[in-house]
C-alpha cells in the first residue's frame, strides 16, 4: 500500500521509520473472497454509484497473521451494494484488467465505470480501463489507442467529470518522460526503498475526452488556458479529495511533502481559471486520505482523513458552496475514525461510507490482527 504516496514504506523493525511516500504490499493477491455475504475489509479501494447501486473494487486488506504482508483484493471481483435493500452481491468480472491495485481513481459516467492509474506491487501505472455496468455481464476493457499525451504513472489522484470529459488532477508517482505543464516535486525519500526509480507529487491536469478518445493537458492549445493564474494554482499534492459541483471542480487538502493541507480550491471547468477559497481558522484541519462528497447542488460533505501529526480523524463538515461557509456536522460515528475509505452519495441525501483504515496505517506497530478496517456506515444528510 502506498500513501501520498501519501505514504511511507515499511523498513526493518530495528530501523527508524522513514517517510517515503509509499508503503506497499508485495505482489500478493488474495485468491478468493474473505467473506461470503459481504466484501472483505479494505482500504485504498474505489466506489462509484450508478442509479441506486454502489460498486466497490480493489484496495487491499491486512492479513490476520503477524509477519505476513497485506493482500491486494482480487482484480476480477466486484461487489455491489443496493442502497434501497441494503444487500451486498459479489460479481466476477471478465476482461483484461492487468493487476490488482490500490489508490486507483474510479468514476462513473453514463453507466460506465472508468478506472485510471493506481499502485501495484511493481509500482504505478497509467493504464485506463472501462467497465460497462449495465451490460449483461461485467467485462473490463483496456482503453488503448488513445490519442494525445497520457498522464504519467501515478496513484492517489482526483477526478472531476464535465461534459463527457474526465479531468484528472494531481497524484503521486513517477516523473513524466515528456513535458507536462504544471509542477512535479520529487520526493527524495522515495528512491531509498524497493529499488524505486523515485517518485513525487504533481499538480498536473489531464483531460480525457470520451467522445474523441483524446488526452489533452494544459500545455495544449485545445482549450483556452490563457486564464490560468500560476499564483492561484494549488501546490502539488496526493491523497486529496475532489468534488464536482455544477461547472466547478473542487479540491480539498491532500499531502505535499510532510504536510497535510487544509486549503480549498476550485477550477472553473468552462474558463479553466483557478480560485482559492478561504478556510476559517476554526474550520477543518489539514488532512489527506479523506472523502469530499457532493450531497446537494450547494453542499459538499467532508469526512475523516489523516493529519500531519498522524492522527486518524472522525470529524465531519458541510461546505456550503454559494456561501463559502464551513459548518461542523454532528454524527453518531465519532468513535469510528477512518482514512482511505470511500464515500458515495445516495438517492435520498445519505452518504454511504465504506471501508478505510481505523488507525495509523503508516506505523510499524499497527494492529494487523484486529479490525483495522471498517465496513459500511451511513451518514444521513437530507438536503
Q: 315, 328 in Cβ contact below 8 A?
A: yes
Number of other CB atoms surrounding residue 259 within 10 Å: 14
Burial class (CB in 10 A: 0-12, 13-18, 19+), 132: middle
What pLDDT is recorded for position 167?
Answer: 97
Q: 304, 356 in Cβ contact below 8 A?
A: yes
In order along its 383 residues, the chain shows pLDDT tens digits of 555 456 443 333 332 222 333 334 444 566 555 557 889 999 999 999 999 999 999 998 876 544 455 689 999 999 999 999 999 999 999 999 999 999 999 999 999 999 999 999 889 999 999 999 999 999 999 999 999 999 999 999 999 999 999 999 999 999 988 778 889 999 988 765 555 678 999 999 999 999 999 999 854 433 444 444 444 899 999 999 999 999 999 999 999 999 999 999 999 999 899 999 999 999 999 999 999 999 999 999 999 999 999 999 999 999 999 999 999 999 988 888 999 999 999 988 899 999 999 876 555 444 332 233 445 666 666 55
Q: How many whole angstroms separate alpha carbon 223 and alpha carbon 227?
A: 10
Q: What is the DSSP letter of 284?
A: P
Radius of gyration of the chain (CA): 19
What pLDDT is recorded for position 121?
Answer: 86
Three-class SS state of 263: strand
Three-class SS state of 345: strand
Which residues have CB under 8 Å from 231's CB, separation 6+?
none
What pLDDT is recorded for position 70?
Answer: 64
Amino acid at each position: 500500500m502506498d500513501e501520498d504516496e501519501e505514504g511511507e514504506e515499511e523498513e526493518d523493525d530495528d530501523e527508524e521509520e522513514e517517510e517515503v511516500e509509499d508503503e506497499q504490499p508485495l505482489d500478493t493477491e488474495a485468491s478468493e473472497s474473505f467473506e461470503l455475504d459481504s466484501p472483505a475489509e479494505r482500504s485504498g479501494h474505489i466506489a462509484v454509484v450508478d442509479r441506486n447501486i454502489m460498486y466497490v473494487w480493489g484496495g487491499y486488506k491486512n492479513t490476520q497473521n503477524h509477519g505476513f504482508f497485506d493482500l491486494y483484493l482480487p482484480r476480477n471481483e466486484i461487489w455491489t451494494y443496493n442502497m434501497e435493500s441494503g444487500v451486498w452481491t459479489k460479481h466476477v468480472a471478465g476482461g483484461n484488467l492487468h493487476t490488482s491495485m490500490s489508490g486507483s481513481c474510479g468514476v462513473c459516467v453514463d453507466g460506465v465505470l472508468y478506472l485510471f492509474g493506481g499502485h501495484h506491487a511493481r509500482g504505478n501505472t497509467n493504464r485506463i480501463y472501462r467497465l460497462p455496468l449495465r451490460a449483461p455481464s461485467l467485462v473490463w476493457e483496456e482503453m488503448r489507442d488513445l490519442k494525445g499525451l497520457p498522464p504519467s504513472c501515478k496513484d492517489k489522484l482526483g477526478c472531476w467529470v464535465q461534459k463527457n470529459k474526465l479531468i484528472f488532477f494531481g497524484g503521486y508517482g513517477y516523473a513524466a518522460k515528456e513535458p507536462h505543464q504544471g509542477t512535479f516535486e520529487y520526493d527524495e525519500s522515495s528512491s531509498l526503498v524497493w529499488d524505486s526509480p523515485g517518485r513525487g507529487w504533481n499538480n498536473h491536469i489531464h483531460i480525457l475526452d470520451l467522445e474523441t478518445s483524446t488526452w489533452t493537458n494544459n500545455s495544449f492549445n485545445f482549450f483556452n488556458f490563457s486564464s490560468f493564474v500560476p499564483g492561484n494554482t494549488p501546490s502539488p499534492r496526493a491523497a486529496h479529495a475532489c468534488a464536482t459541483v455544477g461547472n466547478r471542480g473542487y479540491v480539498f487538502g491532500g499531502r505535499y511533502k510532510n504536510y497535510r493541507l487544509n486549503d480549498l480550491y476550485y477550477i472553473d471547468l468552462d474558463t479553466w481559471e483557478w480560485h482559492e477559497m478561504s478556510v476559517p481558522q476554526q474550520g477543518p484541519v489539514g488532512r489527506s486520505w479523506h472523502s469530499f462528497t457532493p450531497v446537494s447542488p450547494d453542499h459538499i460533505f467532508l469526512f475523516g482523513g489523516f493529519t500531519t501529526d498522524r492522527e486518524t480523524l472522525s470529524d465531519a463538515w458541510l461546505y456550503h458552496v454559494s456561501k463559502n461557509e464551513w459548518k461542523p456536522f454532528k454524527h453518531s460515528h465519532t468513535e469510528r475514525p477512518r482514512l482511505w475509505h470511500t464515500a458515495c452519495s445516495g438517492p435520498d441525501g445519505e452518504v454511504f461510507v465504506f471501508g478505510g483504515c481505523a488507525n495509523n496505517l503508516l506505523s510499524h506497530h499497527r494492529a494487523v490482527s484486529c479490525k483495522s478496517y471498517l465496513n459500511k456506515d451511513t451518514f444521513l444528510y437530507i438536503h
